[in-house]
């Protein structure tokens, strides 16, 4: 007897049931039936296929998505209900589905972003109830979810909504209901530093939402937060994130000095795939391949640098722990060592894209804030918190290799020198240079005020500052139209003049001071041209004129240069300047060869006795960092972090 069963043709590939449900739900048809209760139960009992859901939603145009608003609204409200049910695994699957759904739906370019997104998610009539309920459900799960995995998925869903709807009014629902206590409870309950990443990232996004337009409650929370154990966990998480991001650069080009190894944090954030294998070491990427790989860095996890800046700006206790926290037992670097190391690598590659430049600016502002606080600056300049820090050596010129533990301020000096040396372009990023000079000025004024003398390759700093002056003079036609160039040029002359007038209070030996004066002699003609092209000539006799300080600073440099030029190369002319009466003439080549280092040192030492300068008052005065002065800069950085956060949760 023949079997009543018939054999069907075996399909080439099997389609998971959940994918079929996705296709049925988002199938565009005029006679689409409303999904049944059984459909929804089945959908949330099956493990979600994130890749397929992402692919199906990505194929929908904004207009097609609006056409499917009935289905999208039902999916959103039903997923919220399942997430709040407390029934496993439906609650976990619902949160995953929500995360992918929101990330894909919200990134589409709608004609009317706010109203269209509201239509797709809830409809104008129900938006308040639906979105408020969504935020409340996430808040409850983040605070009291049954396990850490579920709580983490709730945070990721919040990141998907916040980053996707950042340009709409929907994020305001997260400011109406304060998630800060729940996020900090999550941090406090965390077992590993890696678990801190997601809540801290979300906190950074929320704290930056329209913060220049209204009083953001998360900013106030950051300012008042004093739970040291939670702060220490966050700082540790920041350190591990920075080390992992730095190691992404190292994986492309291993520039490790002798004695350094690629630490285990390379595996974090999926960067383990970049770890060089034996084959990679034998055949490193060529120049074009390396260029493409560097252009994709840093990884999207760099978005955490936004929250790091905000916490540092708002909370001095966070800044203290960021600087002072020691390395964990199973790591080689302290959190701040990893932060400085990443900053070094970012700054070496800042010219590659606006995205890198935005993150560079965030880290430079963070360092600027730390250096402006006398209590924190004390830790930066003392032996108490010496650290071994790996700095980027992927591009020449290289600074002298310093091994062993170093005073943090000297490491920051190196980072600033590399910043200036490796980003010189006709289309100069003036913000980066202004921050770098400002950081140097703040650290040096602190050293001078407290008579702290640090061993350092000071000649590299003098060479770099005067090279920058030369560059600014040479390319004045390209730079003069930049609205921020005046800040850079005036701060630069103030810094060099301050070193001239107060170097004896922080330099460790006379030779470092002598070298500064000799380099001023070499740069004399450039300083004069710099003064002329940037209009730093006297224009007012009023002592209250702020420009007079900068004019006096550059005149001081020219005076010192002229004085020592005369002693070194025209000893018979006494105090005479060059024939034109404008600064000093170029040093004759034959005369340069005739003077050895000892002779130069002796002449300059004698020149101190006849040097008569009156450094202008106000060289050591600087204005504290104010966010309102950099709205555009910070908004651009926040948008960059938002874009990266959105990509992280897909």
- End residue of a domain, out of 174, 200, 215: 174
Q: Domain total for the chain?
A: 3
Same domain, 463 and 489: yes
Averaged pLDDT for residues 290-305: 94
In a domain, 561, yes or no: yes
Are 532 and 554 contacting, i.e. CB atoms less than 8 angstroms apart?
A: no
Are 380 and 371 contacting, i.e. CB atoms less than 8 angstroms apart?
A: yes
Quick check: 544 pLDDT over 50? Answer: no
Same domain, 64 and 158: yes
Token pair belonging to 313: 């700006």
pLDDT of residue 14: 66
**HEC profile for 103-166?**
HHHHCCCCCCHHHHHHHHHCCCCCHHHHHHHHHHHHHHHHHHCCCHHHHHHHHHHHHHHHHHCC
Token pair belonging to 437: 């000079």
- Report the distance separating Cα 524 and Cα 559, nearest Å: 9
pLDDT of residue 542: 44
The model's confidence at residue 515, banded by pLDDT at 50, 70 and 90, is confident
Averaged pLDDT for residues 315-330: 91
pLDDT of residue 600: 62
Quick check: 543 pLDDT over 80? Answer: no
The separation between CA 324 and the C-alpha centre of its own chain, rounded to angstroms, equals 20
In a domain, 163, yes or no: yes
Q: pLDDT digit string (tens) for 210-257? A: 999 888 999 999 999 999 999 999 999 999 999 999 999 999 998 877
What is the DSSP code (8-state) at residue 198?
Answer: H
- Report the distance separating Cα 430 and Cα 566, nearest Å: 35
Averaged pLDDT for residues 133-162: 96
Same domain, 189 and 278: yes
Averaged pLDDT for residues 95-117: 94
Are 108 and 160 contacting, i.e. CB atoms less than 8 angstroms apart?
A: no
Partners of 406 in the β-ladder: 387
pLDDT of residue 147: 93
The separation between CA 486 and the C-alpha centre of its own chain, rounded to angstroms, equals 24
Same domain, 270 and 246: yes
In a domain, 648, yes or no: no
In a domain, 638, yes or no: no
Averaged pLDDT for residues 365-378: 95
The model's confidence at residue 390, banded by pLDDT at 50, 70 and 90, is very high
| Residue of 539 and 276 predicted with greater confidence | 539
The model's confidence at residue 196, banded by pLDDT at 50, 70 and 90, is very high
Same domain, 342 and 464: no
Averaged pLDDT for residues 412-422: 95
Quick check: 633 pLDDT over 60? Answer: yes
Quick check: 47 pLDDT over 60? Answer: yes
Are 616 and 497 contacting, i.e. CB atoms less than 8 angstroms apart?
A: yes
Are 308 and 335 contacting, i.e. CB atoms less than 8 angstroms apart?
A: no
- Report the distance separating Cα 485 and Cα 503, nearest Å: 26
Mean pLDDT computed over every residue of the chain:
86
Quick check: 575 pLDDT over 50? Answer: no
pLDDT of residue 15: 77
What percentage of the chain carries pLDDT values higher than 90? 60
Are 268 and 245 contacting, i.e. CB atoms less than 8 angstroms apart?
A: no
Q: Whose CA is closest to 353, among 295, 428, 291, 436?
A: 295
Tell me which residue range forms the domain holding 242.
Answer: 178-385
| Longest alpha-carbon distance in the chain | 127
Q: Is 548 helix (H, G, I), strand (E, B) or coil?
A: helix
In a domain, 99, yes or no: yes
In a domain, 114, yes or no: yes
Token pair belonging to 67: 């056409």
* Sign, Cα dihedral of 558, 561, 567, 568: negative
Same domain, 261 and 115: no
| Residue of 258 and 558 predicted with greater confidence | 558
Buried b / exposed e along 539-556 (16+ C-beta atoms within 10 A): eeeeeeeeebbbbbbbbb
Q: Whose CA is closest to 50, among 125, 156, 151, 124?
A: 156
Other beta carbons within 10 Å of 228: 12
Same domain, 101 and 233: no
Quick check: 279 pLDDT over 50? Answer: no
Same domain, 505 and 606: yes
- Report the distance separating Cα 489 and Cα 553, nearest Å: 11
Quick check: 273 pLDDT over 50? Answer: no
Are 18 and 49 contacting, i.e. CB atoms less than 8 angstroms apart?
A: yes
* Sign, Cα dihedral of 319, 322, 323, 324: positive
pLDDT of residue 2: 57
Q: Whose CA is closest to 58, among 134, 118, 109, 123?
A: 109
Quick check: 321 pLDDT over 70? Answer: yes
- End residue of a domain, out of 385, 403, 436: 385
Quick check: 308 pLDDT over 90? Answer: yes
| Euclidean distance between the first and the last CA atom of the chain, given in angstroms as a whole number | 55
Same domain, 545 and 484: yes
- End residue of a domain, out of 174, 191, 226: 174
Q: Is 406 helix (H, G, I), strand (E, B) or coil?
A: strand
Averaged pLDDT for residues 44-66: 93
Same domain, 206 and 344: yes
Quick check: 265 pLDDT over 50? Answer: no
In a domain, 12, yes or no: no
- Report the distance separating Cα 107 and Cα 116, nearest Å: 12
In a domain, 409, yes or no: no
Q: Is 387 helix (H, G, I), strand (E, B) or coil?
A: strand
| Residue of 537 and 539 predicted with greater confidence | 537
The model's confidence at residue 580, banded by pLDDT at 50, 70 and 90, is very low
Are 220 and 315 contacting, i.e. CB atoms less than 8 angstroms apart?
A: no
Same domain, 209 and 273: yes
Provide the whole-model pTM: 0.90
The model's confidence at residue 561, banded by pLDDT at 50, 70 and 90, is confident
Token pair belonging to 190: 């965390």
Are 430 and 484 contacting, i.e. CB atoms less than 8 angstroms apart?
A: yes
Quick check: 275 pLDDT over 50? Answer: no
Q: pLDDT digit string (tens) for 468-504? A: 999 999 999 989 888 889 999 999 999 999 998 888 8
The model's confidence at residue 329, banded by pLDDT at 50, 70 and 90, is confident
Other beta carbons within 10 Å of 426: 10
Token pair belonging to 287: 């120049």
Same domain, 121 and 200: no
- Report the distance separating Cα 583 and Cα 526, nearest Å: 9
pLDDT of residue 182: 97
Averaged pLDDT for residues 423-451: 94
Quick check: 277 pLDDT over 50? Answer: no
- Report the distance separating Cα 165 and Cα 59, nearest Å: 20
Are 534 and 482 contacting, i.e. CB atoms less than 8 angstroms apart?
A: no
- Report the distance separating Cα 392 and Cα 346, nearest Å: 9
């Amino acid at each position: 007897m023949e079997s009543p069963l018939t054999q069907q043709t075996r399909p080439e590939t099997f389609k998971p049931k959940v994918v079929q449900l996705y296709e049925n739900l988002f199938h565009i048809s005029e006679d689409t039936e409303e999904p049944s209760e059984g459909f929804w139960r089945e959908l949330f009992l099956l493990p979600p296929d994130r890749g397929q859901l992402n692919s199906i939603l990505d194929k929908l145009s904004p207009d097609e998505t609006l056409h499917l608003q009935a289905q999208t609204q039902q999916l959103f409200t039903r997923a919220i209900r399942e997430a709040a049910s407390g029934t496993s695994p439906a609650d976990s699957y619902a949160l995953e589905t929500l995360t992918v759904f929101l990330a894909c739906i919200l990134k589409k370019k709608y004609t009317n972003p706010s109203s269209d997104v509201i239509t797709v998610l809830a409809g104008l009539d129900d938006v308040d109830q639906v979105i408020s309920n969504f935020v409340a459900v996430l808040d409850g799960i983040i605070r009291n979810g049954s396990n850490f995995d579920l709580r983490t998925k709730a945070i990721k869903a919040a990141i998907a909504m916040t980053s996707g709807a950042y340009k709409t009014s929907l994020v305001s629902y997260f400011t109406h209901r304060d998630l800060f206590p729940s996020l900090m409870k999550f941090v406090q309950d965390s077992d590993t530093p890696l678990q801190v990443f997601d809540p801290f990232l979300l906190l950074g996004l929320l704290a930056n939402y329209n913060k220049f337009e209204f009083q953001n409650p998360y900013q106030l929370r950051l300012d008042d937060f004093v739970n040291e154990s939670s702060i220490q966990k966050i700082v540790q998480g920041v350190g591990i994130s920075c080390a992992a991001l730095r190691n992404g650069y190292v994986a492309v080009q291993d520039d490790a000095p002798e004695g350094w190894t690629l630490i285990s944090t390379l595996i974090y954030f999926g960067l383990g795939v970049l770890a060089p294998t034996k084959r990679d070491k034998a055949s490193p990427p060529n120049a074009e391949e390396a260029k493409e790989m560097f252009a994709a860095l840093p990884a999207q996890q760099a978005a955490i640098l936004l929250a790091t800046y905000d916490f540092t700006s708002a909370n001095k206790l966070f800044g203290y722990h960021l600087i002072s926290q020691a390395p964990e037992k199973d790591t080689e670097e302290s959190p701040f060592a990893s932060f400085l190391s990443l900053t070094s690598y970012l700054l070496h590659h800042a010219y590659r894209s606006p995205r890198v430049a935005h993150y560079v600016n965030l880290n430079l502002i963070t360092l600027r804030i730390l250096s402006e606080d006398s209590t924190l600056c004390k830790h930066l300049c003392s032996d108490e918190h010496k650290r071994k820090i790996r700095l980027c050596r992927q591009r020449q010129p290289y600074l002298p290799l310093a091994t062993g533990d170093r005073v943090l301020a000297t490491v920051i000096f190196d980072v600033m020198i590399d910043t200036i040396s490796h980003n010189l372009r006709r289309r100069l990023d003036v913000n980066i240079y202004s921050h770098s000079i400002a950081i140097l000025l703040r650290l040096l004024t602190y050293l001078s005020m407290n008579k702290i003398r640090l061993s350092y390759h000071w000649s590299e700093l003098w060479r770099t500052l005067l090279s920058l002056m030369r560059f600014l003079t040479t390319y004045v036609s390209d730079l003069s139209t930049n609205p921020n160039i005046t800040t850079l040029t005036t701060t630069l002359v103030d810094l060099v003049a301050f070193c001239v007038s107060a170097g004896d209070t922080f330099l460790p030996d006379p030779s470092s001071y002598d070298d500064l004066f000799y380099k001023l002699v070499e740069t004399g003609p450039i300083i004069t041209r710099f003064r002329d092209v940037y209009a730093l000539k006297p224009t007012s006799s009023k002592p209250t004129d702020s420009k007079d300080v900068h004019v006096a600073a550059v005149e001081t440099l020219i005076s010192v240069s002229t004085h020592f030029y005369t002693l070194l190369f025209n000893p018979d002319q006494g105090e005479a300047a060059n024939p034109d009466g404008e600064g000093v003439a170029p040093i004759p080549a034959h005369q340069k060869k005739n003077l050895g280092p000892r002779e130069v040192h002796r002449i300059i030492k004698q020149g101190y006795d006849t040097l008569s300068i009156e450094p202008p008052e106000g060289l050591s005065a600087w204005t504290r960092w104010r966010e309102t002065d950099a709205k555009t800069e910070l908004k651009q950085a926040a948008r960059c972090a938002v874009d990266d956060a959105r990509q992280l949760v897909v």
